[in-house]
């Protein structure tokens, strides 16, 4: 019986996925727009999802993160140049869209309709990536002043924008393409012209103070693996060229 128990124990250990044991469980700080897809790629880490700027500030102040995934290179590159993060890699891309409540009470048909008087627009704050990208789009379209005069709320992460539009607290919001899908039939999506889209690149890197370097590398490898890339595409993300090994 003792030999049988030992054998069963060994099988259980071998069956555990890499990095899933308590000793090597990592903490991943990731952009809010990755909330749905990251746990599908790997459910074992502890996740903290929020605005990339907020997470970057927390990491710079010593928060116990092992890996950081940002919706913009701005946050990861700054931490890298300050010696806080190991060299990051691009692992996904995205696009901005306009979402409206399913009932569309303001009868929004395109991004240009956001200029109309009394249209209630919700966007991200200037420092969060979705907010910065939104302002780039509006500038490219030449409608910044008109749309900004209609902004009734600015959210610290993209999930907040989606939630408020789904509840009808605004007539339209600018969010990532990937964030409309989880909202289902509560919102409708409107495309933004491709020529006005800024390059939206997601980067991921290991925090230098992490004591789980191998587990952090294994997590990034899973994100950039064929399976990880397939799950990203299924969630609506675009893909960069596969990082060189």
- Is the confidence at residue 147, as pLDDT, over 60? yes
> Does any domain span residue 36?
yes
pTM of the model: 0.85
Residues 182 and 212 in one domain: no
Residues 101 and 190 in one domain: yes
> Does any domain span residue 242?
no
> Does any domain span residue 4?
no
Residues 80 and 120 in one domain: no
Residue ranges making up the domain that contains 227: 24-93+200-234
Average pLDDT over residues 42-50: 97
Residues 132 and 214 in one domain: no
**Span 84-128, pLDDT tens digits:** 999 999 999 999 999 999 999 999 999 999 999 999 999 999 999
> Does any domain span residue 222?
yes
**Span 55-64, pLDDT tens digits:** 999 999 999 9
Residues 106 and 170 in one domain: yes
> Does any domain span residue 139?
yes
Residues 135 and 223 in one domain: no
Residues 32 and 76 in one domain: yes
The residue that leads in pLDDT, 59 or 244, is: 59
Average pLDDT over residues 211-215: 96
pLDDT at 15: 46
Residues 108 and 184 in one domain: yes
> Does any domain span residue 5?
no
What's the structural domain count of the chain? 2
**Span 20-36, pLDDT tens digits:** 444 589 999 999 999 99
124 Cβ contact partners less than 8 Å away, ≥ 6 residues apart: 51, 130, 131, 132, 134, 154, 155, 156, 157, 158, 161, 174
Residues 63 and 80 in one domain: yes
Residues 33 and 69 in one domain: yes
Q: What angle do CA 182, 239, 66 make, to 5 degrees?
A: 75
β-pairing, 96-101 vs 187-191, is: antiparallel
Find the helix packing angle between 129-141 and 73-81, rounded to 10°.
120
State the CATH number of the domain containing residue 79: 3.40.190.10
CA–CA dist 135, 139 (Å, integer): 6
Residues 111 and 166 in one domain: yes
β-pairing, 151-155 vs 121-124, is: parallel
């Amino acid at each position: 019986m003792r030999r049988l128990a030992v054998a069963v124990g060994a099988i259980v250990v071998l069956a555990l996925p890499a990095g899933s044991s308590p000793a090597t469980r990592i903490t991943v700080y990731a952009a809010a727009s990755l909330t749905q897809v990251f746990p599908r790629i790997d459910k074992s880490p502890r996740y903290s999802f929020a605005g990339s700027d907020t997470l970057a500030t927390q990491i710079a102040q010593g928060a116990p993160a092992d890996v950081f995934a940002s919706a913009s290179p701005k946050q990861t590159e700054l931490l890298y140049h300050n010696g806080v993060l190991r060299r990051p890699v691009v692992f996904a891309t995205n696009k901005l869209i306009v979402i409206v409540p399913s009932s569309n009470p303001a009868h929004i048909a395109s991004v240009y309709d956001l200029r109309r008087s009394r249209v209630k627009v919700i966007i991200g704050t200037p420092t969060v990536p979705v907010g910065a990208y939104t302002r780039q789009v509006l500038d490219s379209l030449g409608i910044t002043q008109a749309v900004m005069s209609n902004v009734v709320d600015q959210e610290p992460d993209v999930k907040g924008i989606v939630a408020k539009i789904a509840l009808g607290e605004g007539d339209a919001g600018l969010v990532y393409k990937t964030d409309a899908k989880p909202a289902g039939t509560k919102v409708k999506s409107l495309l933004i012209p491709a020529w006005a889209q800024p390059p939206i690149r997601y980067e991921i890197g290991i925090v230098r103070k992490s004591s789980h370097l191998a587990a952090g590398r294994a997590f990034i490898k899973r994100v950039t693996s064929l399976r990880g890339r397939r799950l990203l595409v299924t969630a609506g993300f675009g893909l960069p060229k596969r990082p060189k090994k």
